[in-house]
Chain A
Amino acid sequence: MSSAGAMAVRSCVDAKRRVTHFTYPHEQELMTITQQDVDRIARLAYLKLTPDQTARTQSEFSEIVTLIQQLQSVSTEGVTPMEHPLSGHQNVVLRLRDDVARPAATPEERDALMANAPATADGLFLVPTVIE
């Protein structure tokens, strides 16, 4: 990022108005991503990284986190999050549909929807058994 851009950003920061949820980078140790972090994220995301992948991810992550940590340099007190990009321009509300049901599928229609499944039996999707 150029210094001109960064200067523009810093001029927005008012040190007195702080968001209370987290501390600024200069107030904490620089984030180091540990292997445990990578393992935890991979578990949540149902990914099984090889040791190589884990090591690579760990080093990439540190760089990525440095990139996204720039977010924390700006105070956003009083700013509402923007989920729909047009919510600032016009009133975006959830549109509803009438409670009308379509008829049940015939077995052929059902099979067409399930045609890409790796394993099925008796109209059911099959997965290795989960023991509870």
Chain B
Amino acid sequence: MSHTPLHAEFNSIAALRQALATRRVSAHDITRSALDAIHAHTDLNAFLHIDAELSLEQAHQADQKLTNGSDLPLLGIPIAHKDLLVTQGWRTTAGSKMLGDYVSPFDATVVRHLRNAGAICLGKLNCDAFGMGSGNENSAFGPVRNPWDHSAIPGGSSGGSAAAVAAGLLQGATGTDTGGSVRQPAAMCGVSGIKPTYGTVSRYGVIASGSSLDQVGPIARHALDLLELLDPISTFDPADATSLEVCNDAANQAGRVRNDYNTVRSAQKVNGSTPLKGLRIGIPDEYFSTSISPDVAATIETALQEFETLGAQRVRISLPRTALVVPVYYVISPAESSSNLSRFDGVRYGYRTQEYGDLDDMISRSRTEAFGDEVIRRIMVGTYVLSHGYYDAYYLQAQRLRRLITNDFRQALNNQCDVIMGPVAPAVARAIGDKGAPTDDWNADIFTAGVSLAGLPAMSIPCGFASDRNLPVGLQIIGHYFSEGQLLAIADCYQNATDWHQRKPESL
């Protein structure tokens, strides 16, 4: 396309919201523009289900509200949902043949909050089946292509979400993060993503992968937009027993993240040209002694120097059990998934095989035919580590080590630094189809999965490009529990001084 589509003319949700409020543009036109862009980029395979009529109906209602001067925070803003969040109206497939035709009779709580805030849903986004994968190659509906290089993976499992944002198809998208599935695709697609503190965003209506790890997180182009998308969904949900009512001393409700962000941002502004003065950034020794590609390491280093220019101070820290993160994660997550996925048996919904003998045969065949390799692999591992004779050695041991890993993080954040920074992934996006052993992908989760085990919040923001293919690199910023506002303020500060987040793929 030679000209910028209407919906992409706005650099932020705030700017678009302003234009809508002043009626300079209509929600209908914005939505129409976004739908057209989506159609123009089907080669990315980011979307699994579009329903123009549904979206335009939402836009119509938004326009009526805008005319009446409604001040809903996201009124008229086009977003889309990862296909692990159930939606009425649009199909929810979880990226799997198991739910190819499934239409949920209820909305996920997050979907409801964003709709109530006025956002327009453009459809459902492609993802690795049941959230299992780091390259969106495990989708039953084809891989998603990285907008920066169509032969490269976008990352996963929220590959569709990150690709759609990077391609400018919409303002923001929801993803889910279990071991890095928001942060890693955001990094690989050169956009921003945040995984909030476990328990701050509702899991009700999110198809469960690893129940003690899953969190919904928004993906957008920069921290300011993430703030607009995170604040309305960061709120206590009585329908989710793991949802928290309080975050330290504050109530878990809309406004908390925004308040914290404002407080930190105001304090930063007082420091003038060194807004991050006083900020201690912990750099874990173990992160840089693992095998990460040199140009990624160099790009991260440049970013860290930028933070120092902004006034922050680097502190060397140690997270001694980093080497155990991947084994611990790949015991706990598959164990929980194996149980969570038992409900998919073709009885009450989902894929049912055509030819079968008895009931057991029907269920086994249906599951095996519809799940896909990676899902089957993880169910097998999960079943194994929970099975008689192995539970103590694997699952119980992993939950104990989880406490030790968490203590490493808490120790650093309590005593030595305010945030921890490092790479999101050891390398830039590899080529689609260029897979090694399954455990190769698993090992690449080493920087992100530990954060999930500890339940801490973390962001990924673009900080440069690397490799001869010139692909995006993401910087991970990990904060203490409930510090989403602070993380976003720090990221916004960096994004005011740099322009990585404004870069767009050439093809667009």
Contacts and interface: CB of A to CB of B under 8 A. Distances in A.
The reply to whether A and B meet directly (CB within 8 Å) is yes
A1 B406 contact: no
B453 A85 contact: yes
A26 interface: no
Contacts of B248: 90
A104 interface: no
A60 B197 CA distance: 33
Contacts of B360: 46
B202 to A, nearest CB: 13
A45 interface: yes
Q: How big is the A interface, by class?
A: 35 or more
B394 to A, nearest CB: 6
A103 interface: no
A33 B328 CA distance: 20
Nearest to B377: A60
A113 B362 CA distance: 22
B362 A127 contact: yes
B442 A9 contact: no
A82 interface: yes
Nearest to B321: A9
B274 interface: no
Contacts, number: 214
A84 to B, nearest CB: 7
Contacts of B359: 127-130
B397 interface: yes
Given A45-B379, A83-B212, A12 B362 contact: no
A68 B403 contact: no
B324 interface: yes
Interface in B98-150: 101-103, 105
Given A85-B199, A130-B359, 5 more contacts: A46-B367, A47-B367, A70-B324, A84-B242, A119-B352
Interface of B: 101-103, 105, 197-199, 212-213, 238, 241-242, 244-246, 248, 285-286, 289-291, 318, 320-324, 326-328, 330-331, 338, 342, 345-350, 352, 356, 358-365, 367-368, 371, 376-377, 379-381, 383-385, 387, 392-394, 396-404, 406-407, 410, 437-439, 442-443, 452-455, 481
Task: Name the 6 nearest CB pairs between A and B, nearest first.
Answer: A85-B455, A5-B323, A81-B399, A116-B349, A76-B400, A4-B289
Interface of A: 1-2, 4-6, 8-9, 11-12, 19, 21-22, 37-38, 40-42, 44-49, 53, 57, 60-61, 63-64, 67-72, 74, 76, 79-86, 88-90, 92, 94-95, 97, 112-119, 125, 127-130
